[in-house]
A and B are shown apart, each in its own frame.
Chain A
Amino acid sequence: MVSDIGDRPIEVLLVEDNPADFRLAQDTLEQSHQRVNITHAEDGEVAMAILKREGEYANAPRPDLMLLDLRMPKKDGTEVLAEMNQDEDLVSIPVMLLTGTEAESSLLESYSIPPSRYARKPLQLEQFHRALGQMGLFSRQPIQVPTQQQTQAASESSGSGRRWWWPFG
């Protein structure tokens, strides 16, 4: 378990653009009987602002766990992940990816992301508990998912010309 939390509530940054999905995840977290403090970011840009404590988020707490939706407008989950991995301070924040469809999950699987690091929505209670239990482990193993731009560049350079398989756009 994570030792430095002590008595304070677990800080969870929930990055989710869909209000229905946010509400479901929030409901699951509330059902967990843990003391959880949820910060909601409605897209990747807001998430980054919160993580970097920019502007109005100057006093935002550092999340103990980040639940990150893959598919979002403006800046999607893969981009947030890529930026966090570039940032020495943020790379250690445990992230669990949230996927909307089976296809997204298969894609993550194909990128060798361990199954414990992503959950198919709606987030189930046991998945959340497992994530909480593995937080310390997560923080030492940052995950990497190619962003849309990277995969597009790769597919263009390989000349496959198939633009549609990317399921997050």
Chain B
Amino acid sequence: MQSRENHLAGIVRRLAGAGRPSDQQLKEDAERLASRLASFPEYNPNPVVETDLDGNVTYMNPAARELAGDAPSRPSTHPLARDLGPLLGRLIRQGSGVQSREIFVQGAIFDQKLLYIPEALTVRIYSSDVTRLKAAQEAMRAASEEANKLARENQILGEIGRIVSSSLNIDDVYAGFGEQLRRLITFDRLAISLVNLEENTFTNAYILGDEVPGRQQGEVTSLEGTVTNEAILSRRAIVIQGSTQELKRRYPNILKYPSVVLAPLIYRGELFGVLNARSSEHNTYRDEDAEMLSRVASQITPAIANSLLYSDIVRTQQDLARSNSDLEQFAYAASHDLQEPLRTIGAYIGLVRDRYAHALDDTAMEFIAYAADGAERMQALITDLLEYSRVDTQGSPLEPINCTTVVKNALENLDQSIRQSNARVELSPLPVINGDRSQLSRLFQNLVGNALKFCRDDKPHVRIWAELHDQEWIFAIKDNGIGIAPEHQARVFEMFSRLHSRAQYSGTGIGLALCSKIAQRHGGRIWVESEVGKGSTFRFNIPVVA
């Protein structure tokens, strides 16, 4: 004590003006002074209490006195000195040293250091209020825990999202997320129920965990009296739990589980299902589980909706393929079976005309001519129809075909009409494409044939060429004929559509429909640009040979 006070006196002397100390010196001296003063309990801003070896308070500093409030000026007890028993024993046995503890006093937490001073038979207790520090630490710990939890949840959600998006197969989608979900929510049974609001039913499309008879995968259940219905009505995630009797009273058809959390599956505003987790324990779920399930639901919703849509598309495609094949079969069989009786009609009409002309008057012969014409036209229709129905089913495999050769061949077939109409046909060199020779020949023959047929009075001029655009050839057949009005341009490719009376222009109305189908089979399509009175240009595209 003596030397300490001497030293202090030195400092005070220096502060009083002996020499001119630097600011740095002053600052260091002030700090040292403060630290020295703190070791004097009387100057310590924190509460300091001293007790004897029995724990009776022998001294308290101003801060401790303040804390004790109305206590008498020299009490033998102090809140900061309570329950010292075991600690005192330990200190005294050690003979020296320090013990620490935390104590809760007047709504605050104090960290205490107990110092045994044997020469004074005294225990000095330094206390510092760590309430705010503790609170901050606790807040930090909670925040970091929350952050970790969120990070983990997000990681699992992300994992679920990745799994469910990785396949369009609905079973993969379901299988992928169920087990992941276990890491987020406890459950004994998890189900994805797809609802049919029109019929007020639902079907469990996926179940993980307990199987319940009557509610197994694929079984159709009425929504009435179920918690699923409650989730549909509320359109948000909900927790439903309580005593079995109470739940049974509110939801007569509820499963035996006392705790349920449900989240609706809503895609683009349309509710199509409910994700639900159930537990056999009471009060398993909290609101945050509903929130979590809701997040899971929004994570898996697009994938489920997509895969449902996808299976719809696949089913529709299969239906379409089946109906197409049926239709082709029908067209083929019908065409076939129609031909025989028609041939009989034609043959007998021919016999009557040839053998009984002498016995018939002009009117009878005229009637017979109409009948014969009808039979011939029907024969033409059937032939065309048959050809149309065979484009996809009876075509040859596509192979490299020189279109110039094909068109020359088609022009030879049209030789008679070309000469009769005195037409000029200009053929530019055409590319080699992947195609079916006889179908391409039919395509060109029909288009050039039309160009010759639908001509104006002057001499027909037909040009045929091809242009390369990106990865496809665009073929063009241009004429100077009567043209097609804009409102009719799309219709000309429809089956049996005719723009002109049979008396004006003959034909079955299948020719361009056939062209369109052939273009489609070759991976392209056909279209027309035309102006009435100026002519038409028919174009079709075919991919370039790879």
A121 contacts the other chain (CB 8 A): yes
CA–CA, A167 and B338, complex, Å: 12
A164 to B343 Cα, complex, angstroms: 22
Cβ of B59 to closest chain A Cβ, rounded Å: 106
Q: Mark B331-345, 1 if CB is under 8 A from A, else 0.
A: 011001001100110
Structural contact, A101 and B332, CB atoms closer than 8 A: no
Binary contact readout B362-389 vs A (1 if CB under 8 angstroms, 0 otherwise): 0000000000000000000001001000
Q: Contact between A167 and B336 (Cβ–Cβ < 8 Å)?
A: yes
B336 touches A20 (CB 8 A): no
Q: Does B347 reach chain A (CB closer than 8 Å)?
A: yes
Taken residue by residue from 16 to 42, chain A's Cβ proximity to chain B (1 for < 8 Å, 0 otherwise) reads as 001011001001000000000000000
CB contact under 8 A between A100 and B343, given known A20-B348, A24-B348: yes
**B283, CB-defined interface residue at 8 Å:** no
CA distance A164 to B386 in the complex (A): 13
- How long is the Cα–Cα vector from A121 to B332 in the complex, in angstroms? 20
Instruction: Give the CA-CA distance A164 to B329 in the complex, in Å.
Output: 6
Q: Are A100 and B347 in contact (CB under 8 A)?
A: no
Q: Is B360 an interface residue (CB 8 A)?
A: no
A122: interface (CB < 8 Å)? yes
In the assembled complex, the Cα of A122 lies from the Cα of B329 at a distance in Å of: 26
Q: Which residues of A contact B333 (CB under 8 A)?
A: 164
Chain A residues with CB under 8 A of B344: 18, 20-21, 24
> Shortest beta-carbon distance, A116 to chain B, in Å?
21
The binding surface of chain B is classed by DSSP as helix
Known: A164-B332, A164-B333. A101 touches B348 (CB 8 A): no
Q: Are A101 and B347 in contact (CB under 8 A)?
A: no
Asked if A154 is at the interface of the complex by the 8 Å CB criterion, the answer is no
Does B351 reach chain A (CB closer than 8 Å)?
A: yes
Interface size on B, residues (CB 8 A): 14
CB distance from A105 to the nearest CB of B (A): 12
How far is the CB of B138 from the nearest CB of chain A, in Å? Answer: 74
Which one of B329, B336, B340, B393 lies within 8 Å of A18 (CB-CB)?
B340
Considering only residues 341-362 of chain B, those with a C-beta below 8 Å from chain A are 343-344, 347-348, 351
Known: A20-B344, A122-B343. A27 touches B336 (CB 8 A): no
Q: Which of A20, A101, A122, A162 has the most CB of B within 10 A?
A: A101
Interface pair B351/A101, CB less than 8 Å apart:
no
Q: Is the CB of B340 within 8 A of A101?
A: yes
B residues engaging A (CB < 8 A)? 329, 332-333, 336, 339-340, 343-344, 347-348, 351, 383, 386, 393
Q: Can you list 14 A-B pairs, Cβ within 8 angstroms, ordered by A?
A: A20-B347, A21-B344, A24-B344, A27-B351, A100-B340, A101-B340, A101-B343, A103-B386, A121-B347, A122-B343, A122-B347, A162-B393, A164-B332, A165-B332
**A101-B343, A121-B347 provided; 20 other pairs, C-beta below 8 A?**
A18-B340, A20-B344, A20-B347, A20-B348, A21-B344, A24-B344, A24-B348, A24-B351, A100-B340, A101-B336, A101-B339, A102-B339, A102-B383, A103-B336, A103-B386, A121-B343, A162-B393, A164-B332, A165-B332, A167-B336
